[in-house]
Structure 1
């Protein structure tokens, strides 16, 4: 495993290669790694099960300490593969509040931010807008 990154590693069953694939993946691949499930309504409307999370999406935390919290995505870190939500905050020892990083696999997208025309075009191309 001398290479820094290879597309073929995704088909490997070895955990070490899976970790290396995720850790060293380029940004265009990392974008897909921050995908979250869609709600049932969105799944029926767009014919897709999951989409990459974007700033402005409304999400619900499904697992973990903040389970049940609904909020808006304020930042997506492709470097850390984490999502930051406005309503999910923790207090530091000095009293200041900071947003807690959440893994996108623990989120469900409730409302999509469709300001970007390219994202809308991808959704229509993928499954069409069945509800509209």
Structure 2
């Protein structure tokens, strides 16, 4: 049996190995990026531009200043608060509350354009084939109904 208590779930995430935490850093892509890349989500990293979709900073955008994998937090430039002693501190965000608007493209290992382009081409070709099949089925279905009416 697994626990549904939020505290235990958070603890499970925090104590997870780093390769598992990487999956927890996946962030949904904006509609434009989704079309361009052919993916729904990517892991957030430093220099990505994100938009906050939940919480008090909802609607604000900025570049990711740093990422804390251990605590599952992303810090965004210019989104900060003042401490009681007057110093500015970046506010931590959970990746689930962010949407990627623009990605940092200079990292060669993160992003292999060929694979994504190939996948995108396959998706386009597949949707075209499905569309053609549906049209043919609709045409043959209409002809069959018309012929049946003529026979009566």
2:17 paired residue among 26, 45, 48: 26
Residues in 2 aligned to 1:97 and 1:49: alpha-carbon distance in whole angstroms: 34
TM-score, length-normalised on structure 2? 0.70
Partner of residue 4 from structure 2, selected from 11, 15, 21: 15
2:32 equivalent to 1:41: yes
* Long gaps (5+) in structure 2: 122-152
1:41 aligned counterpart, secondary structure: helix
Gaps of 5+ in 1: 1-11
Mapped contact 1:46–1:128 kept (Cα < 8 A): no
Count of matched residue pairs: 119
Report if the CA contact (8 A) 1:46-1:124 is conserved: no
Match of 1:125 in 2: 115
**What is the TM-score with the length of structure 1 in the denominator?**
0.79
Q: Which has the higher helix share?
A: 2
Q: CA 1:23–1:66 in 2, change beyond 3 Å: closer, same or farther?
A: same
Match of 2:53 among 62, 66, 86: 62
CA 1:75–1:44 in 2, change beyond 3 Å: closer, same or farther?
same
Structure 1 residue corresponding to 2:106, chosen from 77, 93, 115: 115
Which structure has the higher relative contact order (CA within 8 Å, separation 6+)? 1
**What secondary structure, in the 3-state scheme, does the structure 2 residue paired with 1:71 have?**
strand
